[in-house]
Structure 1
Amino acid sequence: MTTTNAAKSTNLSLRDMMLVSMFTAILAVLAYVAVPLPFSPVPVTGQTFGIMLIGLLLGKKRGVMAVTLMLLLGAAGVPVFSGGRAGLSILVGPTGGYLFSWILSVVVIDALKSKIQGFKGAVIASLVGGVIVVYAIGVPWLAISTGMSLGAAFIAGALPFLAGDFFKVAIAAITAARMPKNLLRQ
């Protein structure tokens, strides 16, 4: 199947493919905004901010494609995970649940943003999709993969990140609100 036929079969325009690629690249660059914590296998990373932006700006279809592409690139060995890491071992390791949660995060952010318009909707969508969904999947995965109790996993893999996540929610909502509406039109 040629590239043109593949794009037509999924109803992707050249603009869609460019946006998916661009946001995948942004997400990969944000992997290098990472601060390891000595008490947790989960680093502070800029990628959750990227997930919020993807959900707010790209919508479900293109957003899921951007995140899936990033996960596939990382699985194939391209250094797109936090701190420039890559490989299948990252996807099945302690942070794998956070990474896989991003697909659902984008879907939830888009759904909530569609129901609650404006800045308030962007904040609520980012908070629920970009924080709650990520922790609801990432923390139990962390507990199972490391043998921690769920409480210990919450303390190591969620609690230290909440203040930064609230900051990311605010910045993502402000950024989305200031984006020209026609730049990312559906």
Structure 2
Amino acid sequence: MKDRSLVQIALYAAIFAVLGLMPKFDLPIAGGVPITAQSMGAMLAGVMLGAKRGALAMLLVLFVVALGAPILAGGRGGLGVFFTPSAGFIFGWVAAAFVAGGLMSLLRRQAVFASALIASVVGGIVVLYAFGIAGMALKTDLSLIDAAKACLIFIPGDAIKAVLTALVAQTVARGMPEALLSRTR
């Protein structure tokens, strides 16, 4: 892998960590899964870097978290976070970034904003929730249906994050299109 790709992967892992500085909001109805800004980091990584690099950025995040770095919202880190009701979402960030990046590539001939919005919603909401709901159901006493219902509270915020991701992608594409790696071959 080229040095530039490694720097870009590290940059988006760092952006993800910075999003963890924003306060988390704990919701008792969601099995203890907090609302955080970090799902936007997975959306951004995929939309901006593409499938492979975006997923690698999220894998780097998981590695750093596993080493104990408190980069998750609320200062969480360490192996213990992989055994909480949030674990499905945490592991899902890799798949979310991969799918978002893959969709951006597939939709590269479409307008950037629309492509990024679709990619963010499908990767950063649909795919991420599939992992998150399964993880929540496994780690709590909620059924899959009840876990899915509990996740409904996350949709408005994640929809806003998808729009913000699309706006970032569109702005970057206007000023520095070569930085939108998901649209290049």
TM-score normalized with structure 1 length? 0.88
Q: For residues 6-155 of structure 1, what are the structure 2 equivalents within 5 Å? A: 12-33=1-22, 34-40=24-30, 41-116=32-107, 117-118=110-111, 119-155=113-149
Separation in 2 of the partners of 1:23 and 1:35? 23
Separation in 1 of the partners of 2:83 and 2:33? 13
Separation in 2 of the partners of 1:84 and 1:21? 19
Identical columns (%): 38
**1:105-128 Cα deviation digits (max 9, x unpaired):** 111111111122322111111110
Residue in 2 that maps onto 1:170: 163
**1:130-166 Cα deviation digits (max 9, x unpaired):** 000011111121011112122221232x111101111
**1:25-76 Cα deviation digits (max 9, x unpaired):** 1101111222222433111111111111111101122211110011011111
How far is 1:82 from its partner? 2.1
Larger radius of gyration: 1
Separation in 2 of the partners of 1:120 and 1:29? 26
Which structure 2 segments of 5+ residues have no match? none
8 Å Cα contact 2:46-2:53 kept in structure 1: no
Task: Give, as a single letter, the amino acid of the residue that structure 2 aligns with 1:181.
Answer: P
How far is 1:184 from its partner? 4.7
Task: Report whether the alignment pairs 1:181 with 2:171.
Answer: no
Residue in 2 that maps onto 1:3: none
Separation in 2 of the partners of 1:103 and 1:38? 26
Count, aligned residues = 174
Which structure 1 segments of 5+ residues have no match? 1-11
Separation in 2 of the partners of 1:183 and 1:135? 28
Q: Which fold has the larger relative contact order, with Cα–Cα distance below 8 Å and residues 6 or more apart in sequence?
A: 2
Task: Give, as a single letter, the amino acid of the residue that structure 1 aligns with 2:169.
Answer: A
8 Å Cα contact 2:50-2:105 kept in structure 1: no
How far is 1:178 from its partner? 0.8
Separation in 2 of the partners of 1:138 and 1:165? 13
